Amino acid sequence: MRPSYPAELLDDVLSTGAVDVLDVGCGTGIASRLLAARGCRVLGVEPDPRMAAVALAGGTDVEVAAIEEWDPRGRTFDLVTSAQAWHWVEPVAGAARVAEILRPGGRAAMFWNFGAPEPRVAEALRPIYARLEPELERYSILLGHGTELRLDATADALAATGRFTAPEQRTWRWERTYAAAEWVEFLLTHSDHQTLPEPRRAALLEAVGAAIDAVGGSFTMVYDARLVRADRLRS
């Protein structure tokens, strides 16, 4: 249920001609498979063994570890990516580790999809969250919060290593349409919704689904695919 990424973002990420790729926090392998389809040799690193098993079943080689503790065993890469996952990495330690495993001239590329439901749906959902889960309404990334903090923390940590070119941020806009049931299933892939106590989670999801049905049964989510990238200095 997680969204994919626009082709233009991948074009940018791969513009250095990378072949050997480490995908950090590869999850179930969405970005890994996109990179492999473009001819890359992709190794995933994923701390959750259940998601790693799904990625492996989908054709991605995976090692189960958090990037901060992962042992590269002398291996280096042309490109280190992290799709919708770098915010789980301690940014300073993570940036230092990436600098160690990238070849000179190699690229670090961390990207996310950010978006918020279109206005008519946002207006229908706002009072539901305010009533049932006000904390989510204030900070959930699904409702459009926290974008710049993630991007800036990533860029600042890469710059602080002194081993990268000046980090750049780029954005591509794209859309995906969700039916009510699809959106409810998508919410369950996000930890801020999944970890709610079951009775509260059930009440919220039922109310969200009913609200979307009441405004037509589906809606278009406008996503901004946001990329932070920097290239490893050659000396």
pLDDT tens per residue across span 187-230: 998 888 999 999 999 999 999 999 999 999 999 999 999 999 99
In a domain, 142, yes or no: yes
pLDDT on residue 117: 85
Q: The whole model's pTM is what?
A: 0.90
pLDDT on residue 146: 60
pLDDT above 70 (res 145): no
In terms of pLDDT, which residue wins out, 144 or 42? 42
Q: What is the mean pLDDT of residues 136-148?
A: 70
In a domain, 205, yes or no: yes
Give the pLDDT band of residue 138 (cuts 50, 70, 90).
confident
CATH number at residue 141: 3.40.50.150
In a domain, 39, yes or no: yes
In a domain, 156, yes or no: yes
In a domain, 1, yes or no: no
Going by C-alpha positions, the residue among 206, 215, 217 that lies closest to residue 128 is: 206
pLDDT on residue 137: 74
Per-residue pLDDT tens over the stretch 156-185? 999 999 999 999 999 999 999 999 999 999
Q: What is the mean pLDDT of residues 116-130?
A: 91
Per-residue pLDDT tens over the stretch 42-77? 999 999 999 999 999 999 999 999 999 999 999 999
In a domain, 2, yes or no: no
Q: What is the mean pLDDT of residues 2-31?
A: 97
Total structural domains in the chain? 1
Per-residue pLDDT tens over the stretch 76-119? 999 999 999 999 999 999 999 999 999 999 999 999 999 888 88
Give the pLDDT band of residue 7 (cuts 50, 70, 90).
very high
Expressed as residue numbers, the domain containing 123 is 7-231
